[in-house]
């Protein structure tokens, strides 16, 4: 089977690339995805995220290795395993990060990735129900909408933040990021609008596009220093797909794994598994970054929050009936409706913490279902630009094995101190404010008796989790540890690209799905030789945050 492009991974980046590259009718494009189609009620109904967190069919259900700074706990690392990737299983929050994040990428030597360069790409990838303006676009593949439903506790959380002194913000992606409010989400008509639905579904009838699901890539095929295809397995049968260009878009964990399985990486990472080195690239799998997150959890005096308990059953039946008839109501919830971006200390230049509020009892990624049967609410705080760095490697040479994942959470003391300050802000300032009084019961985590810095640091070690934004393991740049250049071409190899969140050299200050879509849009432009010049006024710079 011969193609001009073979794209490995049908996630957010892969779906965008399949759309843009196959728009050129002379290009034969093949998209392969290890998981199944996204045609599932759990994917379409936003509240299906609760079940998708545990899905064996559409979630890789990865675990990290034991984390030294987290009392030796392995951490659950869910990722989407279906068309649309993690956009099919995530909380649908649409944020882009801060302009300085992208200017920092450019300052690291990645020409064309500054804020003025990427804002027009964000705008054309977006179809925002608020309409087009200086910061937003319409007509793009990524549907963006205001929440169809927000729990009263979510609105009370925003009011509590404002009472605590944080500014209200109606749009985190406009002139100023700092502040609190309700998030916009990637939904349309009360249903999840994942990237597969926005970019892939409308063009599945293109005769020059082949989509192979339930197909696992085993290795990239090289002829000397040129990629010439992909070896994959589907339903027990191995096949080789010949390609003029191979694009690896398998995600922050699976992209470096595939490169290593192909002999691309440091010799020390390959030899223990009997894999001959094809190309020396020591940065493959290094530079892993993720947002460490911790919860403050309260029991609720009111029995109107989300719950998995039998007492919620009558409400669940009403919610399901309302959703079936109108696509409205609590089943449209993304489970993290309210939040925002704040500073851990006043002298910070830009927000370094992000908040999310879930009107439910949460523990261990919501996997503690018995705990979730009660009534309560949970406030997240995460560090936006952690200094800790981890890595992704191999546990063996079997492509069907999970990768070795070591986020190295809280290895840098600065991450702990920022998270500690954020925990105190949420717990002592925001959650103590009057708007939440009708719900406020007893504190579950950290617990009323946990007060000193030493006790709270121990709590962090016992409870810190990821909030699902891993990046960086195939970083773009010019240094010795860079994996791809500014065009996202693998350094030292021909006809091989990596296009997904793994190419981010540093984490952005926000949720990572929209930036991943932007990255794929820019990459497709480069591969097709499209040179876009922003129209006058199309790329205004944001004013610095107050």
User: Could you give the residue numbers annotated as active site?
Assistant: 469
What Å distances lie between residue 507 and 18, 98, 314, CA to CA? Answer: 25, 10, 42
Residue 152, Cβ neighbours under 10 Å: how many? 14
- Cα–Cα distance between 177 and 168 in angstroms, integer? 10
Spatial contact of 464 and 419, defined as CB atoms under 8 Å apart? yes
Spatial contact of 242 and 444, defined as CB atoms under 8 Å apart? no
Between strands 237-248 and 496-498, the pairing is parallel
Place of tokens 């296009």: 499
Helices (H), 142-197: 152-163, 195
- The count of residues in the chain is 546
Sign of CA dihedral 369, 371, 375, 379: negative
The residue among 363, 367, 462 whose CA lies nearest residue 419 is 462
- Cα–Cα distance between 38 and 247 in angstroms, integer? 21
- Cα–Cα distance between 420 and 377 in angstroms, integer? 20
Sign of CA dihedral 426, 427, 431, 432: negative
Residues 6+ apart with CB under 8 A from 415: 292, 383, 386, 387, 388, 409
Both structure tokens of 351: 């927000």
Sign of CA dihedral 484, 485, 488, 492: negative
- Cα–Cα distance between 211 and 209 in angstroms, integer? 7
Q: Hey, is 317 helix, strand or coil?
A: helix
Both structure tokens of 276: 């001959």
Residues 6+ apart with CB under 8 A from 32: 6, 7, 8, 9, 10, 211, 212, 215, 217, 230, 232, 241
Helices (H), 429-512: 453-463
Sign of CA dihedral 226, 232, 237, 243: negative
* DSSP, residue by residue, 432-455: TSGGGTTTEEEEEETTTT--SHHH
Spatial contact of 445 and 363, defined as CB atoms under 8 Å apart? yes
- Cα–Cα distance between 322 and 452 in angstroms, integer? 47
């Amino acid at each position: 089977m011969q193609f001009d492009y073979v794209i490995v991974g049908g996630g957010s980046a892969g779906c965008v690339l399949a759309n843009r590259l196959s728009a050129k009718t002379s290009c034969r494009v093949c998209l392969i995805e290890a998981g199944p189609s996204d045609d599932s009620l759990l994917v379409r109904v936003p509240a299906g995220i609760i079940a998708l967190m545990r899905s064996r069919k559409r979630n890789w259900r990865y675990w990290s290795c034991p984390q030294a700074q987290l009392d030796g706990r392995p951490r659950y690392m869910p990722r989407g395993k279906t068309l649309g990737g993690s956009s099919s299983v995530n909380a649908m929050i649409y944020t882009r990060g801060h302009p300085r994040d992208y200017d920092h990428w450019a300052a690291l030597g990645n020409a064309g990735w500054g804020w003025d360069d990427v804002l027009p790409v964000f705008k054309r990838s977006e179809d925002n129900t608020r309409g087009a303006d200086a910061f937003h676009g319409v007509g793009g593949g990524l549907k963006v909408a205001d929440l169809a439903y927000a729990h009263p506790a979510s609105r009370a959380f925003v009011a509590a933040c404002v009472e605590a002194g944080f500014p209200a913000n109606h749009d985190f992606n406009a002139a100023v990021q700092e502040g609190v409010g309700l998030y916009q989400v990637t939904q349309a008509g009360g249903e999840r609008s994942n990237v597969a639905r926005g970019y892939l579904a409308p063009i599945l009838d293109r005769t020059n596009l082949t989509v192979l699901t339930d197909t696992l890539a085993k290795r990239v095929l090289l002829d000397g220093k040129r990629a010439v295809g992909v070896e994959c397995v589907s339903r027990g049968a191995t096949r080789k797909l010949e390609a003029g260009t191979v694009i690896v878009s398998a995600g922050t964990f699976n992209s470096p794994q595939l490169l290593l399985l192909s002999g691309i990486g440091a010799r020390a990472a390959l030899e223990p598994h009997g894999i001959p080195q094809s190309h020396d690239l020591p940065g493959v799998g290094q530079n892993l970054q993720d947002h460490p997150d911790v919860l403050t959890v309260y029991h609720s005096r009111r029995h109107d929050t989300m719950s998995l308990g039998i007492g919620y059953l009558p409400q669940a039946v009403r919610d399901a009936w309302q959703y079936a008839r109108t696509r409205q109501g609590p089943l449209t919830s993304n489970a993290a409706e309210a939040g925002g971006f704040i500073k851990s200390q006043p002298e910070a230049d830009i927000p370094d913490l992000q908040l999310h509020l879930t009107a439910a009892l949460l523990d261990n990624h919501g996997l503690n279902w018995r705990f979730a049967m009660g009534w309560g609410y949970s406030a997240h705080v995460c560090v936006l630009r952690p200094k800790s760095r981890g890595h992704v490697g191999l546990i063996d040479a079997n492509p069907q094995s999970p990768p070795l994942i070591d986020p190295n959470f809280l290895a840098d003391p600065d991450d702990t101190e920022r998270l500690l300050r954020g925990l105190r802000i949420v717990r002592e300032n925001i959650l103590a404010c009057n708007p939440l009084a009708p719900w406020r019961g007893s504190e579950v985590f950290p617990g009323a008796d946990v007060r000193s810095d030493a006790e709270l640091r121990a709590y962090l070690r016992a409870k810190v989790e990821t909030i699902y934004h891993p990046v960086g393991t195939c970083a773009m740049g010019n240094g010795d540890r860079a994996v791809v250049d500014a065009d996202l071409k693998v350094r030292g190899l021909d006809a091989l690209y990596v296009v997904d969140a793994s190419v981010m050299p540093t984490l952005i200050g926000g949720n990572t799905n929209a930036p991943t879509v932007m990255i794929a849009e820019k990459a497709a432009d480069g591969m097709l030789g499209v040179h876009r010049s922003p129209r006058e006024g199309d790329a205004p710079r944001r004013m610095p945050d107050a």
